[in-house]
Amino acid sequence: MELQQHRFSPEELAALARRLDRPIVLVGMMGVGKSSIGRRLAGLLHWSFVDADEEIEHSAQMTIPEIFENFGEDYFRDGERRVIARLLNEPDEAAVNGIVIATGGGAFCNSETRDLILSKAITVWLDSEVDTLLERTARKDNRPLLRQGDPREILTRLRNERQRHYEQAPIHVMSGNGPPALTVNNVLQEISQWL
């Protein structure tokens, strides 16, 4: 949805934060900017930010590529589901206000995880064109799924396969090549209109 760009004042941000009664969860493909946008969004709302992938690595005491290599994707997805459930079900004592959670690209494709997120959070699907995803994911070599062939083909296939799941999120925001502040502002506008 195209919105007229509106810059939120500190007072408007505070008023919006007071209207929010549950966590904000960002879903979408790897490389779409969930962590980057999530950190900025949490900062503006004066909320806590959690990257689910970092929580998984902390819980497992190994990196995501190591989990994939040693135990496989199914094992990783099960751990991912448990971590997200914990984040949504157990209030974080450090989160004085609310919490913004960035999920891994495949998390929302698990029906149990998706149902939990949709029932307990404001769910925002961050979306990008494949070219944007390709450029962003090329910056780091920590994407196990992209090590299995041509990254463009893999990203295109995954995006097509996962779209039907992502479309269940009530809020959809494009994350393009513009400044991250623009995407953050669009997320805030969409959430404000959705409430």
What pLDDT does 8 receive? 87
Percent of the chain scored above 70 by pLDDT?
91
In a domain? residue 50: yes
The per-residue pLDDT for range 80-116, each reduced to its tens digit, is 999 999 998 876 555 557 899 999 999 999 999 999 9
Supply the mean pLDDT for the chain. Answer: 88
In a domain? residue 1: no
Taking 70 as the threshold, does the pLDDT of residue 155 lie above it? Answer: yes
In a domain? residue 12: no
Return the minimum-mean-pLDDT range out of 39-48, 106-115, 176-185.
176-185
What pLDDT does 29 receive? 94
Domain count, the chain: 1
Burial environment of residue 120 by CB neighbours within 10 A (0 to 12, 13 to 18, 19 or more): middle
Task: Give the position of tokens 């994911």.
Answer: 137
Domain limits for position 70: 21-194
For 169, the 3-state DSSP assignment is: coil
Rounded Cα distance between 51 and 64, Å, is 13
Task: Give the position of tokens 């779209």.
Answer: 163
In a domain? residue 31: yes
Tell me if 47 sits within 8 A of 97, measured CB to CB.
yes
Element containing residue 113 per DSSP (H, E):
helix 111-120
CATH number at residue 86: 3.40.50.300
User: Which residue has better confidence, 90 or 136?
Assistant: 136
Taking 80 as the threshold, does the pLDDT of residue 140 lie above it? Answer: no
Taking 60 as the threshold, does the pLDDT of residue 67 lie above it? Answer: yes
What pLDDT does 1 receive? 43
For 142, the 3-state DSSP assignment is: coil
Q: What is the dihedral of CA 25, 28, 33, 37, to 10 degrees?
A: -20
In a domain? residue 136: yes
Confidence of residue 51 (pLDDT cuts 50, 70, 90): very high
In a domain? residue 182: yes
In a domain? residue 33: yes
What pLDDT does 178 receive? 82
Give 104's contacts (C-beta < 8 A, 6+ positions apart).
Answer: 30, 52, 53, 56, 64, 80
In a domain? residue 6: no
HSE at residue 22, side-chain half, CA atoms within 13 A, is 15
pTM to 2 decimal places: 0.90
Return the minimum-mean-pLDDT range out of 11-20, 133-142, 179-188.
133-142
What pLDDT does 3 receive? 47
